[in-house]
Structure 1
Amino acid sequence: MELAAADAGGLRIDWARMPTYNTVMALCAGAGLLLVVALGRLLLTDRAVVPDAWAMGFGALGVILFATGLHMTLTWPLAGQGFAFDNVVFGEPALGFGVLLLFAAFFLWRRGEVLGAAGGARGRTVAALAAPVSVLVFGLGLACFGIAAAGWRYTLFAAPPEEPISGEFADHPMLEASFISALYVLTGVGAVLFPVVLWRRGGPAAWVAGACWALAGLAFLLFGALNYFTHIGLIVNTL
C-alpha cells in the first residue's frame, strides 16, 4: 500500500491523488449537530420557532455535507495513497447526515407552520413526523459505534509528524485516535437515543442525547476549524 514517497527531505505526498476536504465536512457536521440540539430545545420547551430561518440553516449545511459526502462515498477510493477507509469513516456519515438535513430543511420551508401548535400537540406532531426517519438515525448511530471501534482497533486518525499541532503527538497515535473515536461515540449515543426521545417526547433521554450531540458538535466544529491550519501546514510541509 503506497502511502507517500519518503526521501531525505521527509514525508512527501502526491496531493493530486489525495483530495482532502474533511475540514469543511467536520465544520458543517459540528454546526449541524449544534443546530439540531438548539431546535430540539426550542421544541421541547414550547418556544417559538421561525421555520424559514431553520430551513436556511439546515439547507446550507445539508448541501455541503450531501455534496462532499456523496463524492467521497462514490469515488472509491477518494484518497489513493492508503486512506481508503476515509470513504467509510467520513464520506458515508456525512452523506447520511446531509440528506437528513436537506429533507428537514425542505419540510421546514414547505410545512413549517405545523410547528406552530402549542404544548403537547406540537410534540405529538413532531414525534409522528420524525418516527420513520428515526430508523435511519438509529442505524447511523450504530455505524458511529462501528467507526469508533475501528478507530481504536486500527489506530486511525493519527497525524504524521509533518502536520502542525496534531503532529506533535505523532509518537502517541492512540491519543488522537481516542479523541476522534470518542466524538463518534458521543454522536452515536445521541443517535440511538433519538427514537426514545420521540417516543417519550422528552425526558432524561432527551437531555442525554442533547448533551452528547452538543459536546460532539462543538468539538467537531472547533476541530474542523483548527484543521484549516493543520491541513494547510501538512500540505506545505509535504509538497
Structure 2
Amino acid sequence: MTVALAPQAADLKIDWAAMPTYNTIMAVAAGVGLLGLVLLARDLVRRPAEVDTDGWALNFGVLGGILTATGLHMTLTWPLAAGGFPFDNIIFGETSLGFGVLLLAAALYLWRRGAALAATPDPLQVLVRVARPLSIFAGFLGGALVAIAVAGIKYQLFAAPPQEPISGEFAEWPLVEAIFMSGLLGLVGVGAIAFPFALAAAAKGNRGSLAAKVTGGSWVITGTAFALFGVMNYFTHIGLIVNTM
C-alpha cells in the first residue's frame, strides 16, 4: 500500500511534516486480521476444545485497536496529508475503520463470553448465530471495496513515484500497481460479500458451502498478501522519505 503520488521528476521533494502516512501498520494489521478470522473458524471446526478464546480476544483487540485508531484519524482528517490526496482517506481510512470496529466487537464478545462459548457443544454454531447481524455490514463493506477496486483501475490510483524503492520501478506503468492493489482490495470485498451467505448456509448446517470457501480462500490469499506487502512497505516508504526529504 503506497502513498498515492503520481510519478514525479527526479528532484521530487516532499514536505513530510505535512504528509503523514501510516498505511504500513494498517496493511499489516488488516492482513493479520483477515488471516485470524479464517484461522479461528478453522480451529472451531477442527479442534474446538483447543481454542483459547482469551488469546483470540487479545489478537482481535490489538489489531482492531490499531485499525480503529488510524482509520478514524484518517477518516476524520480531510485530507490527512496536506499534499492533497483525499481519496486515500476513503480508500484506506474508512475501510480500516470499518474493519477495525468489527474486530473490536469480536474481541469484546470473546473476552466477555469466551468461557461460556467454549463450554457449548458446538461453539461455531453459536458464533454463526451471533455474527449474522453484523455480517450484513461486512457484506456491504465488501461491496464498497469492490467499488474502490473499480475506481483504482479506472483512475489509475496507487502509483508510486520513481523515488520509491521497488514499487517505483513501475512508475512508468501506473496501471501495474493499480491492477495489483485494486485486485487485492476487490478480492477482500468478494470474500466479505460472500460472508453473510456463508453464515446463512452454516446456520442450516452446511459449513462447507461455496460461499464459505470463497470467503475463506479469498481472505487467506489477501490477508497474507496485505501483511507481506505492509512489511515490504516499511522499507519502500522509508526509502521514499529518504529520497525525497
Name the TM-score, length of structure 2 as normaliser. Answer: 0.91
Pick aligned residue for 1:84 from 64, 83, 86: 86
1:217 aligns with 2:223: yes
Aligned to 2:175: 174
CA-CA distance at 1:118 after TM superposition: 5.8
- Contact residue 48 and residue 123 of structure 2 kept, 8 A: no
| Partners of 1:88 and 1:58 in 2: CA distance | 23
| Partners of 1:180 and 1:40 in 2: CA distance | 26
CA shift digits 1:46-78 (9 cap, x unpaired): 533211000011011111101000000001110
CA-CA distance at 1:168 after TM superposition: 0.5
- Contact residue 71 and residue 93 of structure 2 kept, 8 A: yes
1:108 aligns with 2:114: no
- The amino acid across from 2:74 in the alignment is M
- Contact residue 155 and residue 173 of structure 1 kept, 8 A: yes
| Partners of 1:51 and 1:112 in 2: CA distance | 5
| Partners of 1:197 and 1:45 in 2: CA distance | 17
- Contact residue 114 and residue 122 of structure 1 kept, 8 A: no
1:28 aligns with 2:34: no
CA shift digits 1:67-111 (9 cap, x unpaired): 000000001110121311110000001001110111110110110
Aligned to 2:192: 191
CA-CA distance at 1:185 after TM superposition: 1.2
- The amino acid across from 2:55 in the alignment is A
Aligned to 1:60: 62
1:152 aligns with 2:153: yes
- Contact residue 41 and residue 124 of structure 2 kept, 8 A: no
**Backbone CA RMSD of aligned residues:** 1.6
1:132 aligns with 2:133: yes
- Contact residue 46 and residue 118 of structure 1 kept, 8 A: no
- The amino acid across from 1:93 in the alignment is T
Structure 1: segments with no counterpart, 5+ residues: none
Aligned to 1:231: 237
CA shift digits 1:17-59 (9 cap, x unpaired): 1111000000100010010110111123353321100001101
The list of structure 1 runs, each at least 4 consecutive aligned residues, that deviate by more than 6 angstroms after superposition, is none
1:42 aligns with 2:48: no
- The amino acid across from 1:234 in the alignment is L
SS at structure 1 position matched to 2:12: strand
Aligned residues: 234
- Contact residue 138 and residue 193 of structure 1 kept, 8 A: yes
| Partners of 1:175 and 1:113 in 2: CA distance | 48
CA shift digits 1:166-218 (9 cap, x unpaired): 00110111111100001111100110111111111122221221010000000
| Partners of 2:82 and 2:140 in 1: CA distance | 28
| Partners of 1:199 and 1:28 in 2: CA distance | 27
| Partners of 2:234 and 2:68 in 1: CA distance | 20
Structure 2: segments with no counterpart, 5+ residues: none
Name the TM-score, length of structure 1 as normaliser. Answer: 0.93
SS at structure 2 position matched to 1:131: helix
- Contact residue 158 and residue 177 of structure 2 kept, 8 A: yes
Query: Percent of pairs identical after alignment?
Result: 58
- The amino acid across from 1:28 in the alignment is A
